[in-house]
Amino acid sequence: MDLEFDLDTDYIPLCDLLKYCGVTETGGMAKQLIAEGMVLVDGEVELRKTRKVRSGALVSGEGFSIRVH
């Protein structure tokens, strides 16, 4: 699934982004997905659950990609 996310603040924590976009059902599931190394930010594996995702970032993983604006 290819998604677009319109950011209305300076940043969004990575785990919250995954939850809000429906990649995972809960924040806990998002944190586990990140901890397992299954999430990329701008093409690099990201293990920090609360990484600040800012406008222009591409968050991706198996079966999803989210472009943040």
Domain residue limits, the chain = 2-68
pTM of the full predicted structure?
0.94
Give every CB contact of residue 32 below 8 A, 6+ residues apart in sequence.
none
The pLDDT of residue 6: 97
In this prediction, what percent of the chain has a pLDDT beyond 70?
Answer: 100
The pLDDT of residue 8: 94
Q: What own/partner pairs with CB < 8 Å and gap ≥ 24 does 24-27 have?
A: none
| 2-68 CATH pick, 2.30.40.10, 3.10.290.10, 3.40.640.10, 3.30.70.100 | 3.10.290.10
Cβ neighbours of 59 (radius 10 Å): 24
Report, as an integer, the average pLDDT of 1-19. Answer: 96
* pLDDT tens per residue, range 22-39: 999 999 999 999 999 999
